[in-house]
Structure 1
């Protein structure tokens, strides 16, 4: 008989009190989810648990934590599709509520399955790998020296190298690894597991055996890094959407752990990182037509001898080399809370020897600060996003920001 799990709902930075957890669950939360949830002892044997800037769902053996964002579902979906370049889903959200979007991974897995079947119907990408074999007749390129050595031993065969077609390319292996990981999870929709198993059989059949992939459990961070290294060309363009969905899946399941018989599953999204990726990708796309390049997270040193390392979010640079430093802040700008951000931006601008910096907040009042005795200006701008902001208003605000940036770089 299964244990009844208690569902705890909270928003970003919200605290839930009176939480009862087993010793194993407390240990797992502290060890694996310390950046997501903070635990403090409460009355009796209970816990007070506070969320950070992560949203999603954490399922333990005796409890489920569902952390919701302080955003409308349309806003969150807009950020996701831009951040992970899921253009095919940008205008048709598969969910209608924040609970659906952050509560489980089923919608994401369903769309990944659909994209993989599309790739299969079009044909898996074939690559060629060089092989060397000793054959009865020449195939490909004859290797003269080793062939003569065999003939001297009266072994009259040919050593040849040739290209052999294979579907064990990186794209196919990464998709297959994703399917295998997804197949280990539990789903309310039983059709998902059946479709995943069908996909696995199809991918395994192309090489008359199992695809070459690491044994489970798969490291999500390693898979995300591998996906980032894939260069998209005309030869693998049909993989773009599936790989984008897979990158999002790996990021949101990065905290999942399987330890013995104790299941600890998660579907977690870092809102700070999401906001930064959204800003970076959208700016890159919309500023490109104006001849402005967006460089993401370049490494610089503030002090001599490579000391005091700093990493600004974005550098915006026009064709003449003029640039602006931009830092995305997933928070509401307050009248006093902006000072540390201003000092941070001033350090970035000093390291880059640039006179303009932009602090871009989710919401809050806007202002411009001229730094005394310098030519430096720091612009504190806001997207004006809250739980009720509609998409049209966001697009209008973003367009205003684009025009401001273009004007600043043309001055």
Structure 2
């Protein structure tokens, strides 16, 4: 009997770990891009050196072990960031960590499975949502509308059968299909605890009237409304599950993964949280904010640039400030030169007297660098590049307060005259 392969546990941005791994599994991990590096260990035959980067979660390698990547940030805080990014209006009203219930689990996949199951259970508490959906089929009797073109093409005008289209009141809606797909996906993930797995199986039975998603197709679209308001928290979390686990439901052209599992990119998660939180805070000052605002560095329009967030006046015409979020720790000297060069380019193109960088950690809550050879205002001072630090170990309310302070600093910025 073959002995089970032990799991491989890595730490986000931690040191490389030498693990016994077959050539096929090692190559699959290296090609997937989920790790910062995966190379054969030159000192030990049959071993690979694995080093995690910004992605956290768990993946199952083909013919190899389950690789678990633990985050530096507490799991409860990580899911607060995720919950806020998915539904900022709700999270801003209630900044408790319970906005996404992760239970007592301190690993990403168990906490995710628990959170999704609890949200689905809350959504279905008043019954399975039903709605009207257009159905096209062949039938022996006429119901609804006759599809004349299809009748002629398929049956040369003869009846029966007849090609018809009608609106059916059914539980097979886009919302229920998404929830069922997320449930089934979580049941296939490694590391889901037994009690959570049993509850997920129960939710799948409740959603049995919804058809399963077809492999290779994009996720069905749904529109927020009063009727599906109780579904919306579960839907947003379910979509995050499917986008983080299912390459078969990604848009055409995206690279397929060679492994199976769930991963969260902390770089993207931190960027989403910072920009969404700042956008919501700036609304209180009557300002607008554009995320990933496209611009060009050169006059010919050949070099593209997309700042994470550009603050604009209420009418959206005049830029007031620019922000870029960086999920990285400062170097020993406290400076990240490439980030400063990037921020200066943003300020120059937008004609702003200052630019702001927000980091996930740092030695000082705020510092700035005044750029030599620049004049950004009537006072004669040069362009200033601000670096802000956001300590993710702080409580959710403290994180939001810190971002509100940064938002207040942004409102004081003035563009070039």
TM-score, normalised to structure 1, is 0.77
- Deviations 1:98-134, CA, capped at 9 Å, x for gaps: xx232xx233223323333333334414024276999
Q: Is 1:333 the counterpart of 2:325 in the alignment? A: no
Root-mean-square deviation (CA, aligned residues, Å) is 3.9
- Deviations 1:356-385, CA, capped at 9 Å, x for gaps: 321111222432233333316343232341
- Deviations 1:287-313, CA, capped at 9 Å, x for gaps: 222212221112222223431111111
Q: Is 1:43 the counterpart of 2:75 in the alignment? A: no
Residue 204 of structure 1 aligns to a residue in which SS? coil
Q: CA deviation at 1:254?
A: 5.0
Residue 111 of structure 2 aligns to a residue in which SS? helix
Aligned residues, how many?
Answer: 382
Distance 1:159 1:362, change over 3 A: closer
User: Which residue number corresponds to residue 380 of structure 1?
Assistant: 386
* Aligned partners of 1:345 and 1:359 also within 8 Å: yes
Distance 1:132 1:42, change over 3 A: closer
In structure 1, stretches of 5+ residues that fail to align are 148-152, 257-262
Q: CA deviation at 1:280?
A: 1.7
* Pick aligned residue for 2:237 from 225, 231, 245: 245
Distance 1:179 1:73, change over 3 A: closer
* Aligned partners of 1:363 and 1:385 also within 8 Å: yes
User: Which residue number corresponds to residue 379 of structure 2?
Assistant: none
Distance 1:167 1:58, change over 3 A: closer
* In structure 2, distance between residues paired with 1:89 and 1:184: 32
* Pick aligned residue for 2:312 from 308, 314, 317: 317
User: Which residue number corresponds to residue 110 of structure 1?
Assistant: 114
Residue 315 of structure 1 aligns to a residue in which SS? strand
* In structure 1, distance between residues paired with 2:338 and 2:4: 46
* In structure 2, distance between residues paired with 1:134 and 1:8: 55
Mapping for residues 75-114 of structure 1, pairs under 5 Å: 75-85=77-87, 87=91, 90-92=96-98, 93-96=101-104, 100-102=106-108, 105-114=109-118
* Aligned partners of 1:332 and 1:363 also within 8 Å: yes
* In structure 2, distance between residues paired with 1:379 and 1:67: 34
Residue 373 of structure 1 aligns to a residue in which SS? coil
Q: CA deviation at 1:143?
A: 10
Q: Which structure shows the higher strand fraction?
A: 1
User: Which residue number corresponds to residue 13 of structure 2?
Assistant: 13
Distance 1:53 1:254, change over 3 A: farther
Q: CA deviation at 1:272?
A: 0.4
Distance 1:199 1:64, change over 3 A: closer
* In structure 2, distance between residues paired with 1:329 and 1:356: 17
* In structure 2, distance between residues paired with 1:190 and 1:350: 55
Residue 328 of structure 2 aligns to a residue in which SS? strand
* Aligned partners of 2:344 and 2:385 also within 8 Å: no
* In structure 1, distance between residues paired with 2:240 and 2:188: 18
* In structure 1, distance between residues paired with 2:80 and 2:355: 26
* In structure 2, distance between residues paired with 1:90 and 1:282: 15
* In structure 2, distance between residues paired with 1:64 and 1:146: 50
Residue 332 of structure 1 aligns to a residue in which SS? coil
User: Which residue number corresponds to residue 342 of structure 1?
Assistant: 340
Mapping for residues 131-142 of structure 1, pairs under 5 Å: none
Q: Is 1:203 the counterpart of 2:199 in the alignment? A: no
* Aligned partners of 1:81 and 1:90 also within 8 Å: no
User: Which residue number corresponds to residue 302 of structure 1?
Assistant: 297
User: Which residue number corresponds to residue 260 of structure 1?
Assistant: none
User: Which residue number corresponds to residue 262 of structure 2?
Assistant: 267
* In structure 1, distance between residues paired with 2:414 and 2:60: 48
* Aligned partners of 1:5 and 1:62 also within 8 Å: yes
Mapping for residues 63-74 of structure 1, pairs under 5 Å: 63-74=65-76
Residue 6 of structure 1 aligns to a residue in which SS? coil
In structure 2, stretches of 5+ residues that fail to align are 152-156, 249-257, 377-381
Residue 262 of structure 2 aligns to a residue in which SS? strand
Q: Is 1:292 the counterpart of 2:284 in the alignment? A: no
* Pick aligned residue for 1:400 from 390, 399, 405: 405
